[in-house]
Amino acid sequence: MKIATWNVNSVKARLPTVLEVLKDIDCDVICLQEIKCETDAFPYMEIEELGYNCAVHGQKSYNGVALLSKHPLEDVEKGLPGDDSDEQARYIEALVLADRPVRVGALYLPNGNPAPGDKYDYKLSWMNRLTAHAKSLLTLEESFVLAGDYNVIPRDEDCWDIAVWRDDALALPKTRDAFHELKWLGMTEAFEAADGRAHQYSFWDYQAGAWQKGHGIRIDHLLLSPQAADRLTGVEIYKKARGLEKPSDHVPVIAELAD
């Protein structure tokens, strides 16, 4: 089965592009981030027409995540546990009832800039909550995937020029440490495991001709539990999406698991 993550940067502002890409990549499960609409305003009809069940956790204007699945969804959970006062819609999880069920968490991890500051503190505390949640999910010993826009550049070679990004919230040592803590629970980063090449990007800024110049960063990731990692057969970064009319600044990253 194929599982994708994609930050769409507003599902309403570019619905035709979104539908075209969803048709092209033809995945079993798709995690969307930055839908930028309230739950009720999600374009359910158009996406259901492509054969997807939709679980949506939205909010007005910003953030917002959704899980699309060609298989039935069960146990839908909205919001990341660990802080009842957190009102930002950045996490949704469900059990995907394929022949071999997979639990999938779709996440939009905070950007954290400027760092240091309140936003960076929020990013680090959100990452700690994600790690705590992953730790509890790992005790279930099932196939599960945490997929999303992590806003983390894992290695120097995952960006076009580390000198530009070294002091950014996406690449700071504390950010990478927190990401490693999550991985070291026993999670496998799909691209790193199945491909691992340097300079393969999932985001190119709209500004300064970043796409044309190849100035990208790799910040969209799928982390797999051991049971899911055993089934990993490949990863694709669907770079074509960045060259379409009215593109998102991110492209889908797709992991394939053996059925």
Signed CA dihedral, 82, 112, 43, 201: sign only: negative
**Strands, E assignment, 42-117:** 53-57, 65-69, 73-78, 91-96, 102-108
**Least Cβ distance, residue 151 to DNA (angstroms):** 5
> Would you count residue 61 as binding DNA (CB under 7 A)?
yes
**Least Cβ distance, residue 172 to DNA (angstroms):** 12
Q: Which is nearer to DNA, 122 or 238 (CB)?
A: 122
Select from 52, 120, 126, 203 the one that contacts DNA (CB under 7 A).
203
> Would you count residue 47 as binding DNA (CB under 7 A)?
no
> Would you count residue 36 as binding DNA (CB under 7 A)?
yes
Q: How far is the C-alpha of 27 from the C-alpha of 106, rounded, in Å?
A: 15
Q: Which is nearer to DNA, 56 or 257 (CB)?
A: 56
Q: Which is nearer to DNA, 158 or 256 (CB)?
A: 158
Tell me the number of residues near DNA by CB under 7 A: 29
Q: Which is nearer to DNA, 217 or 223 (CB)?
A: 217
Select from 48, 177, 205, 230 the one that contacts DNA (CB under 7 A).
205
Select from 5, 7, 53, 131 the one that contacts DNA (CB under 7 A).
7
CB 165 within 8 A of CB 148: no
* Cα–Cα nearest to 35, from 4, 13, 19: 13
Rounded to 5°, angle at Cα 132 from 56 and 157: 85
Report which DSSP code applies to 82. T
Beta-carbon contacts of 205 under 8 Å, excluding residues fewer than 6 positions away, are: 215, 249
Select from 170, 232, 235, 254 the one that contacts DNA (CB under 7 A).
170
Q: How far is the C-alpha of 27 from the C-alpha of 255, rounded, in Å?
A: 9
Select from 28, 93, 149, 158 the one that contacts DNA (CB under 7 A).
149
> Would you count residue 220 as binding DNA (CB under 7 A)?
no
DSSP 3-state assignment of 108? strand
Q: How far is the C-alpha of 147 from the C-alpha of 22, rounded, in Å?
A: 16
The dihedral formed by the CA atoms of 105, 74, 140 and 195, expressed in degrees to the nearest 10: -40
- Among the candidate windows 9-17, 66-74, 98-106, 175-183, which touches DNA by CB under 7 A? 9-17
CB 106 within 8 A of CB 33: yes
Q: Which of residues 104-143 bind DNA (CB under 7 A)?
A: 110-111, 113, 119
Kindly tell me the number of DSSP H helices and DSSP E strands found in the chain: 8, 14
> Would you count residue 206 as binding DNA (CB under 7 A)?
yes
Select from 12, 23, 135, 197 the one that contacts DNA (CB under 7 A).
12
Binding site for DNA (CB under 7 A): 7, 9-10, 12-14, 34, 36-37, 60-62, 110-111, 113, 119, 149, 151, 170, 203, 205-209, 217, 219, 246, 249
